[in-house]
Amino acid sequence: MIDHSLLNPSVTDDDVKKGCREALQYGFAAVVVNPSHVPLVTQELKHSTVKVCSVISFPFGLSTTASKTYEARTALEQGADEIDIVMNFSALKSGHSEFVLSDIKGVVQEARRTQRKVVKVILENCYLTENEKREACQLAVQAGADFVKTSTGFGKSGATIEDVRLMREVVGPKFGVKAAGGIRTLEQVLQMIEAGANRIGASASVSIIESLKS
């Protein structure tokens, strides 16, 4: 259930390779990287069940739709299995719901061009009101995405139990909910799962699993 996040802008190739080895050792769901690291992760994870995930328009979500779709297409062509796109939350807060829907749809359609690839929509809840969170979840579902995700981990705060519960309530039992941002302990992971998350994004993945084992 854990996406092993390697998104710090200072990570080196060696850091990425180490993260891939950890993902293989611990059986993580995916390794999440910025687009330029996708080819390296694809190479390191070949012939394994661990997915390659690339973030898109990260961490602000303010790229144009054309930029987002091109970035997603490139990542997919280079081996990405999953796409975590940052929603344009500025547009949502400005009342441009149709634009937000179209923006997400553009990436979803790109991910469906040849075969079905998973798309997670990062809402960045710390900047949204409750009504905006509800609307964002509804737009992600309407756009045909697979998951809604709480946070980038680079905003003013990360995942909360309350947000996960709210997201699960809005999207229903079959849609994906990913909790990410500030999750560093086993206790937090279990709380997020209990609240309704079925995927966890963390950079402290190894220490979390080691805590579980002990």
Which residues form the catalytic set?
84, 149, 178
- Nearest C-alpha neighbor of 212 from the set 194, 179, 189, 183: 189
111-115, Cβ contacts within 8 angstroms, sequence gap of 24 or more = 111/72, 111/76, 111/83, 112/144, 113/73, 113/76
36: left (phi over 0), alpha (psi -120 to 50) or beta: alpha
Q: Is 135 exposed, middle or buried (0-12, 13-18, 19+ CB in 10 A)?
A: middle
**Cα–Cα distance measured from residue 200 to residue 177, given in angstroms and rounded to the nearest whole number:** 9
Q: Residue 39, class by beta-carbon neighbours within 10 Å (0-12 exposed, 13-18 middle, 19+ buried)?
A: middle
Nearest-angstrom CA–CA distance, 191 and 1: 14
For residues 20 and 41, is the Cβ–Cβ distance under 8 A? yes
**Alpha-carbon gap, residue 64 to 184, rounded angstroms:** 33
